[in-house]
């Protein structure tokens, strides 16, 4: 039997059994399940990492990614929002919480709070990284929507342009998103 066949038969836990007492391994097991679109198992391993009391530095990343899984993939929006708010120093958590408040996901809609959180996240990311390249096309699109709804049309146009430039034409969802962004940009005269 070749090594590929052996690896296919082994579970992720078996492959990493020598590292199962280390939160970093738990985190990466969770992320490997995410890559397989097995969000329930991903959540299980990220929860284990997040709840570990050791001083290893993986809790924040696990909390952020667990929040994304709860929000976008397994419909536990209130828990996702609670997780994002539990790590306010993570700019992407602040951005996600802002989007959730703005859209009323997991809470009542609060456009003012959503806008404030999104703007704070953008400032943190731009100051720390010199840009906001960490935002995906989808995140840029929702940021543009928030700016548009709050009357900040130039910022909305800026993020629509970023949406368009970050779309990958190989993906059907990105082609649809790009078309929506282009239509919104045309509608705004930009």
Query: Mind listing the pLDDT tens digit for each residue in 40-79?
Result: 999 999 999 898 866 667 888 899 999 999 999 999 999 9
Would you state the pLDDT for residue 20? Answer: 52
Would you state the pLDDT for residue 8? Answer: 53
Residue-wise pLDDT for 82-127, tens only, equals 999 999 888 889 989 998 998 899 899 998 999 999 989 888 877 7
Token pair belonging to 64: 């952020």
Query: pLDDT band at 7, cuts 50/70/90?
Result: very low
- Distance in angstroms (rounded) separating the CA atoms of residues 18 and 72: 32
Would you state the pLDDT for residue 98? Answer: 93
- CA torsion 19→45→86→107, rounded to 10°? 170
Would you state the pLDDT for residue 128? Answer: 67
Q: Are 40 and 74 in contact (CB under 8 A)?
A: yes
Q: For the chain, which residues make up each domain, given as ranges?
A: 22-75, 85-133, 135-190
pLDDT at residue 1 tops 50: no
- Distance in angstroms (rounded) separating the CA atoms of residues 35 and 42: 9
Mean pLDDT taken over the chain: 83
Q: Are 23 and 52 in contact (CB under 8 A)?
A: yes
Would you state the pLDDT for residue 175? Answer: 82
Token pair belonging to 58: 């993986």
Residue-wise pLDDT for 13-27, tens only, equals 565 555 555 667 788
* Continuous H helices in the chain: 3-9, 12-15, 23-35, 39-51, 59-72, 77-86, 91-103, 111-129, 137-149, 153-166, 172-187
Token pair belonging to 6: 């052996």
Using CB atoms within 10 Å of the CB of residue 128, give its burial: 0 to 12 exposed, 13 to 18 middle, 19+ buried.
Answer: exposed
Q: Is the pTM of this model over 0.85?
A: no
Q: What percent of the chain has pLDDT over 70?
A: 82
- Distance in angstroms (rounded) separating the CA atoms of residues 77 and 59: 20
Q: Which of 116, 60, 123 is nearest to 93 (CA)?
A: 60
39-51 and 23-35 helices, crossing angle to 10°: 160
């Amino acid at each position: 039997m070749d090594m590929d066949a052996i690896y296919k038969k082994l579970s992720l836990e078996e492959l990493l059994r020598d590292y199962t007492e280390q939160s970093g391994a738990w985190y990466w097991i969770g992320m490997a399940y995410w890559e397989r679109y097995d969000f329930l198992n991903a959540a299980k391993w990220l929860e284990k990492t997040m709840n570990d009391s050791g001083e290893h530095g993986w809790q924040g990343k696990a909390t952020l990614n667990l929040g994304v899984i709860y929000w976008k993939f397994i419909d536990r929006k209130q828990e996702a929002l609670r997780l994002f708010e539990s790590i306010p120093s993570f700019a992407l958590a602040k951005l996600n919480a802002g989007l959730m408040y703005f859209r009323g996901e997991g809470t009542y809609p609060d456009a003012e709070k959503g806008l404030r959180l999104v703007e704070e996240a953008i400032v943190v990311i731009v100051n720390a990284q010199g840009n906001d390249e960490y935002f995906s096309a989808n995140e840029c699109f929702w940021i543009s929507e928030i700016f548009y709804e709050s009357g900040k049309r130039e910022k909305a146009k800026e993020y629509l342009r970023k949406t368009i430039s970050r779309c990958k034409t190989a993906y059907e969802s990105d082609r649809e998103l790009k078309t929506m962004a282009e239509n919104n940009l045309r509608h705004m005269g930009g």
